[in-house]
Amino acid sequence: MPKFCTLVLFVLFSILAQSQDSFKIPLETVQDSIKKDEFLNHLGNGYLPTKYFNFDLRYLVKYNQYEALRTGIGGTTNENFSEKYRLNGYVVYGFRDHRFKYSFGGGARLSEKNNTWLNIFYKDDLEETGSSTFLTDKRFFQFFEPRLLNISLFHKIITKSISLEHEISPKLLGEIQFSVNDINPTYDYSFLLNGESYSSFNLSMAKIAIQWSPFSLFEVTDNTIEETKIGYPKFTFQYTKSFKDVFNSDFNFSKLEFKSIYQLQHKNEALSELIMVSGIASGNVPLTHLYHTYPNNINKEKILRRFSVAGNNSFETMFFNEFFSDRFATFQLKHTLKPFNISARFKPQLVLINRFAIGDIGNIERHQNITFGSLSKGYTETGLEINKLLFGFGLSFAYRYGAYHLPNIDDNIAVKFTFNVTL
């Protein structure tokens, strides 16, 4: 592992040095041509900007239970390359599965006024089983993604897609996508339907997503619309339809998902946040497209062996692959207290957290060679975080209680690191 770390650091250094040499952008030029806050905004969104190409920091180094160390390079062209067209892609390598994964695609701007883009996309990679993302989600970047360390259930996926992004109004964003997917679970699984067993399958799917920000404020600058004040609550809706026999698709099913985020900033610098996410799937839905409700607890017996890093919005006491649902709702309430002003550089922050999940699943017998439970009784956990104790690190404590409280008291407790860095 030390050799791998040295190799990764060398690769990172080489990439940064090469990007500066090849694009001839020394630090002084960057500071002259790009305002400091804009440069930090790029980094905060996970990009290292150069003249024509922005390197995507998400692909440099990651780790999970299936690939072990995963490293690569990727990025997208910027407006200096073209204001009407863009190209993007990445290539990564997993050291445990000894396999390259990659993606490439591009887009053409059809309307500058409404920021309308037509995109095409090809991907050959892994996805976490039971995960669900919204097309319209703003890009979310973390220097460190804690849940990735412990994920073990992935499926291989080859996706060919075409999509259309459109700003219906400044407060209403929409995207529609059609994709053809070849899916092959990396674990022993089969989906039993009408006497036939599927260990791999094809899905042809259409998605439409709407993001509504009714309380945000926007203004037009340089022919682009910018959100000048983030207003809450925000709402996101998404509908997915899988079509049987379209491009050899195997199953018919549909999914409807909803997310709402509300934040309340208090006068004393405290912050309250409520996040609600729900989804319902009907039809013949394989395990890969069910819902896992964001678990983040390693499947090991002792507390110290489960010691890892807490996620942002995950259930810290829920074990990976413990529950899957075809209908679910989660509620998370966080209250962040005013930082403790101990010194100019030491300002730890206490966060109080309550989480609740409820769900259910039908036709559980269709999912062969895997065992999991239902959330029909309602799952509850409560906890706290003490953040920014040292170099962005802190501590997290969570306790599982209620209907899914476990007989062994240690199994209900999660103690973890937290990691928070803000540019």
pLDDT tens, residue by residue, 250-294: 999 999 999 999 999 998 889 999 999 999 999 999 999 999 999
- Region for 123 from its dihedrals, namely left if φ exceeds 0, alpha if ψ lies in -120 to 50, beta otherwise: beta
pLDDT average, residue stretch 211-233: 82
Using the 8-state DSSP alphabet, how is residue 150 labeled?
G
Confidence of residue 47 (pLDDT cuts 50, 70, 90): confident
Q: Which burial class, exposed, middle or buried, applies to 381 when counting CB atoms under 10 A from its CB (0-12, 13-18, 19+)?
A: buried
Confidence of residue 44 (pLDDT cuts 50, 70, 90): low
Residue type, 102: Y
Domain borders along the chain are 1-79, 112-419
CATH architecture of 112-419: Beta Barrel (2.40)
- Give the predicted TM-score (pTM) of the model: 0.86
- Residue 320, pLDDT > 90, answer yes
- Region for 310 from its dihedrals, namely left if φ exceeds 0, alpha if ψ lies in -120 to 50, beta otherwise: beta
pLDDT average, residue stretch 3-32: 44
